[in-house]
Amino acid sequence: MYQIEDYERPSVAADAVVFGIDTEPTASSKGLQQRKLKLLLVRRGEEPFLHMFSLPGGFLRKNETIQQAAWRELREEAGVNSPHILPLDVYSAPGRDPRGWIVSCAFLALTRTVVLATDALSDAVDAQWFEFDFQTLSSHEEQLTLSASSISITLRYQDGKLSEGGLAFDHGQIIYDAFQKLRDEVMHHDLIFELMPSLFAVSDLQQPYEIITGTHTSPQNFRKKMLTKIEETELFNEAAAHRTAKLYRKKQQ
């Protein structure tokens, strides 16, 4: 007969890989805006990995689901409320956490805001958005560079596995897996719209789409590709400095 006390029990944690799109002025053209893909990291305020950057996350509490734990940790550690989240994977390799037997349920999370705040009671010191630059170096090697102000973190991957990196725990691998899922979901399931405001110009959509998918095409071809997914409105982006742009929204199915 099954007796729960006969089995050791791991601690369960929820970690979230949060992506957002930020709009910044271009360095070369006055008035023009560029959209950048950014990743949310928090600086740890306690051991292990004191002062290192990690994904926002924490331990599951009594009487909450693992999804609720992920939402709570995002709110406490970064001030991110009600993001769109998708289950990513379960990470349970022995030794992945020096504190003991800890299983992480990871999520891919998307938010339309880049405003951050860290709760004083959180175990994170602060939260920061990092510009996300993913590059394929060869058929077997890839590199991810995360940069924010004077901070730069480089992660290297060999055949999809983390080979070099400077993040806490196994979070460098979780980020890689989340980006691959994001790329697949954007290409095949229209997840890109979870990163966009309700109204957008086609160029606003094209920049993050191409950053995530690693594809490039002309504005005309991209517009044609998206015609079955977006619909034109009667509104224009009057704030555009170079020219007014017609605004679109996601087509309702």
**Cβ contacts of 203 within 8 Å, gap of 6 or more:** 219, 245
pLDDT surpassing 90 at residue 78: no
Write the pLDDT tens digit of every residue in 213-246: 999 999 999 999 999 999 999 988 765 555 678 8
Which CATH number fits the domain that encloses residue 244? 1.10.10.10
- Can you give the residue range of the structural domain that contains 215? 196-250
Domain boundary among 140, 157, 188: 188
- H or E stretch at 221: helix 219-226
pLDDT surpassing 90 at residue 205: yes
Kindly state whether residues 123 and 202 are assigned to the same domain: no
Q: Give the mean pLDDT of 43-71.
A: 96
Write the pLDDT tens digit of every residue in 111-149: 886 665 555 555 667 889 999 999 999 999 999 999 998
Kindly state whether residues 218 and 106 are assigned to the same domain: no
Kindly state whether residues 156 and 234 are assigned to the same domain: no
Place of tokens 């995002």: 74
Residue 116's pLDDT is what? 56
Kindly state whether residues 112 and 213 are assigned to the same domain: no
Q: What is the token pair recorded at 148?
A: 């924010």
Kindly state whether residues 153 and 38 are assigned to the same domain: yes
- The closest alpha carbon to 196, from 239, 132, 252, 249, belongs to 249
Kindly state whether residues 8 and 127 are assigned to the same domain: yes
Among 1-5, 26-30, 113-117, 134-138, name the most confident range.
Answer: 134-138
Which CATH number fits the domain that encloses residue 85? 3.90.79.10
pTM: 0.91
Kindly state whether residues 71 and 23 are assigned to the same domain: yes
Kindly state whether residues 132 and 221 are assigned to the same domain: no
Q: How many domains, in total, are found in the chain?
A: 2
